[in-house]
């Protein structure tokens, strides 16, 4: 009697394709050793394609809901063929590629008896690309992304929080997918909100248990803006931790390329102007850079300009930095200081040359 058969049946009933796969492989090995090489070969042939790596839409559509509000507690995102590009420092990019490669080769690793734990923690300021990286990984691996926004889940009633967390993990368990816990720090932040300490501890403990049993077989990504709020027990659960920080000069250039690739500009080949733009963008997140450049591009289009000019970008930066409180004088001064010709300032801001000179004389 081969006990593997029992395990295969168990795996089948639980829809645990990896369990079925691994024990079928063990069974085939044993059969071969016991002289039944014909049966062994047939099993190996059946296993050739590895465990199922697709998941049916039906399985993804019936998402878990909060007991009281009846609102869905996860979103499912099916990976699109078209990768949304993320601009990151080379070292960060490499780490992410390594993670993707391990996920892609998980079956081979399992077959060779190498247990991997695919848990990734992303941290960094809002707008630097954590959610984008999770989507990127989903696109690269072809696995659907099951997104659980912890800020929304934790804000519901406490009794439900533990239950909702359990439901999320159950939903994602044994499906070929990536579970993405976004705004993960919400659980820790709740400490000073509506939660009683003892009860919160219970919620966190149940979260840790869920992570432990989930991460042996599945892929888990968590993202947080506040890494300092997560306690050590949580950090330990993640075998890859990546900081997604503010872009440096290289990445800012990469973002300019990415967002302006369909536009002709008067600064792409002008190092001085480009440097100036990079300097003014320093300290901004990729999300900020995107809004600034979108603004400039929109202006270029509505004004039917053929070329996106240096000053268009500078005006967009100025407006981004100053929002409502900006005065026209200050803007003229800013553009002048950054090397925009007075005639160009006048044209762009629909002012006369006399007004421009007036503003600038007042300044000096």
Ligand X SMILES: Nc1ncnc2c1ncn2[C@@H]1O[C@H](COP(=O)(O)OP(=O)(O)O)[C@@H](O)[C@H]1O
Token pair of 18, please?
């990896």
Q: Phi and psi for 81 in degrees, rounded to 5?
A: -70, -35
Q: Could you say which of Mg ion, ligand X, none residue 127 binds, taking C-beta under 5 to 8 angstroms by partner kind?
A: ligand X
CA distances from 223 to 25, 106, 185, 235 (A): 36, 22, 8, 12
Give me the least distance between CB of 135 and Mg ion, in Å please: 10
Smaller CB separation from ligand X, 78 or 343: 78
Kindly indicate which of the ranges 130-138, 202-210, 214-222, 324-332 contains the residues binding ligand X, using the contact rule CB under 6 A.
130-138
Report how far residue 111's alpha carbon sits from residue 22's, in angstroms, rounded to the nearest whole number.
7
Q: By CB under 6 A, tell whether 130 contacts ligand X.
A: yes
CA 89-93-95 angle, 5° bins: 120
Selected range binding ligand X among 44-52, 125-133, 137-145, 325-333, rule: CB under 6 A: 125-133
Q: Give the total residue count for the chain.
A: 364
Residue 13, burial from CB neighbour count under 10 angstroms (0-12, 13-18, 19+): exposed
Interface residues with Mg ion (CB under 5 A) are 130-131
- Beta carbon nearer to ligand X, 87 or 300: 87
Q: How many CB atoms lie within 10 A of CB 260?
A: 17
Residue whose CB is less far from ligand X, 28 or 255: 255
Reported as half-sphere exposure (CB side, CA atoms, 13 A), residue 164 has a value of 26
By CB under 6 A, what part of segment 284-323 binds ligand X? 286-287, 290
Nearer to Mg ion, 119 or 131 (CB): 131
Among 22, 131, 174, 224, which residue sits at the site for ligand X (rule: CB under 6 A)? 131
Q: Does 104 bind ligand X (CB under 6 A)?
A: no
Residues 6+ positions from 201 with CB-CB distance below 8 Å: none
40 binds, among ligand X, Mg ion, none (CB under 5 to 8 A by kind): none
CB under 6 A: which stretch of 99-107, 129-137, 148-156, 263-271 binds ligand X? 129-137
| Residue 144 binding ligand X, by CB under 6 A | no
Residues that bind ligand X (CB under 6 A): 86-88, 126-132, 286-287, 290
């Amino acid at each position: 009697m081969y006990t593997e058969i029992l395990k295969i049946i168990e795996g089948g009933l639980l829809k645990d394709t990896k369990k079925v796969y691994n024990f079928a492989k063990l069974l085939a090995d044993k059969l071969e050793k016991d002289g039944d090489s014909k049966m062994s070969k047939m099993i190996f042939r059946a296993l050739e394609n590895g465990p199922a790596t697709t998941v049916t839409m039906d399985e993804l559509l019936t998402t878990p809901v909060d007991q009281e509000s009846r609102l869905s507690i996860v979103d499912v995102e099916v990976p699109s063929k078209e990768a949304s590009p993320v601009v990151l420092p080379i070292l960060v990019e490499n780490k992410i590629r390594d993670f993707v490669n391990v996920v892609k080769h998980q079956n081979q690793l399992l077959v060779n008896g190498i247990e991997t734990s695919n848990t990734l923690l992303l941290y960094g300021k809002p707008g630097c690309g954590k959610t984008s990286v999770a989507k990127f990984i989903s696109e690269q691996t072809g696995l659907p992304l099951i997104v659980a926004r912890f800020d929304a889940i934790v804000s519901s009633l406490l009794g439900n929080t533990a239950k909702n967390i359990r439901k999320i993990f159950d939903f994602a368990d044994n499906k070929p997918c990536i579970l993405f816990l976004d705004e993960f720090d919400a659980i820790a932040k709740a400490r000073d909100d509506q939660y009683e300490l003892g009860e919160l501890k219970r919620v966190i403990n149940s979260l840790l248990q869920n992570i432990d049993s989930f991460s042996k077989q599945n892929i888990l990504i968590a993202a947080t803006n506040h890494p300092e709020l997560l306690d050590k027990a949580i950090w330990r659960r993640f075998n890859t931790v990546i900081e997604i920080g503010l872009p440096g000069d290289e990445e800012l250039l990469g973002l300019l390329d990415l967002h302006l690739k369909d536009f002709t500009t008067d600064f792409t080949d002008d190092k001085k102007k480009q440097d100036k733009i990079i300097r003014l963008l320093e300290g901004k997140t990729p999300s900020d850079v995107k809004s600034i450049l979108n603004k400039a591009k929109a202006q270029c289009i509505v004004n039917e300009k053929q070329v996106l000019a240096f000053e268009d970008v500078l005006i967009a930066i100025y407006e981004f930095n100053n929002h409502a409180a900006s005065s026209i004088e200050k803007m003229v001064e800013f553009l002048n200081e950054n090397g925009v010709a007075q005639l160009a300032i006048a044209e762009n801001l629909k002012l006369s040359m006399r007004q421009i000179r007036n503003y600038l004389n007042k300044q000096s």
